[in-house]
Amino acid sequence: MPDDPERFFFLHVQKTAGTTLMRRLQRQFGERAVYPDPSDENERGDAVISVHQLQERFRARGDEIRVITGHFPLCVAEVLGGGFTTLTVLREPVERTLSYLRHRQRDAPEDRHKSLEEIYADPYRFDGLVHNHMTKMFSLSAGEATAWMDWVTKAFSRPREETTAWILTKVDFTPERLERAKEGLASVDAIGLQERFEEFCAELSRRFGWDLGPRLYENRSEARDVSDSFRARIAEDNAMDVELYEYGRELCERRGSALSGGSGRVSRDPGR
Going by pLDDT thresholds of 50, 70 and 90, the confidence category of residue 48 is: very high
CATH number for the domain that contains residue 184: 3.40.50.300
* pLDDT given at position 265: 40
In a domain, 88, yes or no: yes
Bridge partner list, 193: 90
In a domain, 268, yes or no: no
* pLDDT given at position 269: 33
Bridge partner list, 87: 10, 190
* pLDDT given at position 164: 83
- One-letter amino acid of 223: A
| pLDDT, tens only, 104-130 | 999 999 999 999 999 999 999 999 999
Can you tell me the distance from the alpha carbon of 242 to that of 82, in angstroms, rounded to the nearest whole number? 29
Neighbours of 92 (CB within 10 A): 18
| pLDDT, tens only, 155-201 | 877 776 666 899 999 999 999 999 999 999 999 999 999 999 999 99
Instruction: Please give the C-alpha separations between residue 123 and each of 46, 120, 168, 229, 232, in angstroms, as whole numbers.
Output: 21, 8, 11, 20, 19
What global pTM score does this model have? 0.89
| pLDDT, tens only, 245-261 | 999 999 998 887 555 55
* pLDDT given at position 23: 95
- One-letter amino acid of 68: I
In a domain, 178, yes or no: yes
Going by pLDDT thresholds of 50, 70 and 90, the confidence category of residue 2 is: very low
* pLDDT given at position 260: 55
Percent of the chain with pLDDT strictly greater than 70: 89
Which residues span the domain enclosing 145? 7-261
Neighbours of 90 (CB within 10 A): 27
Q: What are phi and psi of 68, to 5 degrees?
A: -95, 125
In a domain, 27, yes or no: yes
- Shortest CA distance to 159 belongs to which of 170, 149, 174, 147? 149
> How many domains does the chain divide into?
1
In a domain, 241, yes or no: yes
Bridge partner list, 4: none
